[in-house]
Amino acid sequence: MIDADDLITLVRNYNPKTNAALLRDAFAFGDAAHAGQTRHSGEPYFTHPVAVAAILAEMQLDDATLVTALLHDTIEDTRRTYGDVETAFGEEIAELVDGVTKLTNLQLSSTETKQAENFRKLFMAMSKDLRVILVKLADRLHNMRTVKHMRPDKQVQKARETMDIYAPLAGRMGMQWMREELEDLAFQVLNPDGRISIMRRFITLQKETGDVIPRITDDIEAELAKAGIYAEVMGRAKRPFSIWRKMEEKEQGFSRLSDIYGFRIITASERDCYIALGAIHQRWRAVPGRFKDYISQPKSNGYRSIHTTISGRDGRRVEVQIRTREMHEVAEAGVAAHWSYRDGVRAENPFAVDPARWIATLTERFDTEDDHDEFLEHVKLEMYQDQVFCFTPKGEVVKLPRGGTPLDFAYAIHTRIGDSCVGAKVDHIRVPLWTRLKNGQSVEILTAEGQRPQATWIDIVATGRAKAAIRRSLREEDRERFIKLGRELARVAFDKIDKKATDKALATAAKQMGLGGRKDLLARIGAAEIAARDVIRTVYPEIEATSGDEIDAARAVVGLKPSQTFRRALCCQPVPGERIVGISYRGKGVMTHAIDCPALIEVEDQPNRWVDLHWQEGKHPAVHTVSLDITIANDAGVLGRICTLIGEQKANISDLVFVDRKPDFYRLIIDVDLRDVEHLHAVMLALEADSDVASIGRHRDLDRKP
């Protein structure tokens, strides 16, 4: 453990005007408070707060943040109180220490609802003073560096929490180096064999090709010198987890993965960045689709850089990042650059974002969410996604997460535009609303009066803002209808156990389930968000809510008008348990399609024909025919065994057609009558496990239309 003088020396390297007496007092206060306490490793406990302070000193943060690091566990783990800290170090530091203590007490890896509440508290703490989360991230980093001393189950819990929450949060704040180290430390716990495998393969590659980093660095420096650019060039191999993730995303083996090296070019000016880019592209072939200009379109956390991927020596791809020194400082520190010191004064970096504005952009819509699950979904989407930049017809820039659609674009402009959207043009060409937008595209939203959001839009959009707006609109529009439907479903469910669905019983259930009241409960029952039998279990836990009767196949879906009838679409053959949507046909009633049915594209621009449907809760009869496309070995007894396997799963074969006969294999279409999606999965799993089944999947015939 370093002592107080070592820490002060470390701080004075970037802040000669540091308050050494304050740091020394905090060191003594923390050391005394933690006296006699030890870590899992057997070391004195105070080694941990000192290590956290050292990490923050490397980030060149202010004295208050470093003092908070030294004291961050005193209120929680010692006899020292908030008042003690405030008396000794003032209100600012006491508030920071208290904020870190509250974050520590949040169990972020608990159940979903509680996790959403804790996320809300986490962002509230961040909004008060972002330095709280900086201390917490440094705390988590040191804990992960020493995680091997914990129990195996605790190691996995901390690693999963780190991978799911803290690493993405560090990345969202622009602290990419911390994100990469946190991910790699968690990867070492969660998948040690995978990490070792990556490292071994990388060592083998280095033996075969030699260390290519110095050679590529020399090549880049030579090209820059020709262009008259003085710059610092740095190269490195990507971390094991980063390589593993690329392998997973691209579904490629290590030997086929090329861009495992990254290089940074640090120039003197923004102008030199673009000259350097031209020199690089003139010398090496640029890889299409791998260019991003975050200088002209900075990220919300202040990140600026030019990214390009080129085919370097021996055709090996390398990623190159080009930025100025000031941009590099923000790229390393992210939002924390706001507090960075240099020569005893706050660093005046023009690219460092105001933390208050940054946190405001991150949280401005969170307080509008009245559903915790929606809030958690929104937070995770905002934290995990990268961004694309698209343009309105007037040239204004709209930022979206990667995977955003024209609907996301519409809601990003204004909720009213999103709600009334009927179509979109991308680069002047009409496209489906589920089209994934790319960087630089121009998007025009087509609207119409009277248009309202469709339930299917939830599965199309990628942003939390759009999802929340759609759900809110659907709830407002359908609330009364859902309340009436919910009341009927509750009445039927209560009648089956000889009870009455009284207002008092429903109000009691709503209170127990944490809902706003009786009408809120009924609306959620009607919307199929809560099952009526779950309400019965809440009010009458001693009664087993039995529903042995099968649902009438003619009334299997919910959402039809009394005069409407429905049929399952033959093209996609949806079964109970799958997301569905209804399409009305003149004289033919409503046809139910699976939500991902390709046939829906033909009616995408006719929203008046779409009907919001879902399957009735309960036990369905095995009358829903699904066509299975199966290839089996052409051996004696195989077909008979396949039919037996289907029968053992209590499924009936209603038709069987041979599509292709080969000397060694048969391909056939088998129509099987099933109850629901779980029944379908059971049948397919049983068939897939048979050694003579070469392939199996659902047969979808788009020619079989209404």
Q: What is the DSSP string of 564-585?
A: --EEE-TTT---TTS-EEEEEE
pLDDT, tens only, 294-303:
898 887 777 8
Q: What's the whole-number mean pLDDT along residues 648-662?
A: 84
Q: What residues does each domain of the chain span? A: 4-190, 194-346, 548-706
Q: Residue 362: what pLDDT? A: 59
Percentage above 90 pLDDT, the chain: 21
The pLDDT confidence band at residue 51, using thresholds 50, 70 and 90, is very high
CATH fold, domain 194-346, is Beta Polymerase; domain 2 (3.30.460)
CATH code given to domain 548-706: 3.30.70.260
Residue whose C-alpha is closest to residue 575's, from 676, 456, 654: 676
Q: Residue 125: what pLDDT? A: 59
The pLDDT confidence band at residue 704, using thresholds 50, 70 and 90, is low
- Between 383 and 523, whose confidence is greater? 523
- Between 143 and 256, whose confidence is greater? 143
What mean pLDDT, rounded, does the chain reach? 81
Residue 72 has pLDDT above 50, yes or no: yes
DSSP 44: B
Residue 498 has pLDDT above 60, yes or no: yes
Q: Residue 545: what pLDDT? A: 39
Residue 343 has pLDDT above 70, yes or no: no
Q: Which pair of tokens denotes residue 501?
A: 């669905």
- CATH number (1.10.150.120, 1.10.3210.10, 2.30.30.100, 1.10.10.410) of 4-190 reads 1.10.3210.10
Distance CA 56, CA 26 (A): 15
Residue 258 has pLDDT above 70, yes or no: no
Residue 397 host element (H or E): strand 397-401
pLDDT, tens only, 465-479:
888 888 888 777 767
Residue 522 has pLDDT above 90, yes or no: no
Distance CA 195, CA 184 (A): 8
Lowest mean pLDDT among 15-24, 295-304, 403-412: 295-304
Distance of CA 684 to the CA centre of its chain: 30
Whole-prediction pTM value? Answer: 0.54
Residue 375 has pLDDT above 70, yes or no: no
Q: Residue 384: what pLDDT? A: 45
Q: What's the whole-number mean pLDDT along residues 523-535?
A: 77
Q: What's the whole-number mean pLDDT along residues 95-121?
A: 63
Q: Which residues contact 700 (CB under 8 A, 6 or more apart)?
A: 571, 572, 573, 597, 598, 627
| SS3 label, residue 697 | strand
What are the two backbone dihedrals, phi and then psi, of residue 67, each rounded to the nearest 5 degrees? -65, -40
Q: What's the whole-number mean pLDDT along residues 324-330?
A: 88
Q: Residue 256: what pLDDT? A: 47
Distance CA 567, CA 625 (A): 12
The pLDDT confidence band at residue 21, using thresholds 50, 70 and 90, is very high
Positions marked catalytic: 76-77
Distance CA 485, CA 525 (A): 8
- Between 449 and 50, whose confidence is greater? 50
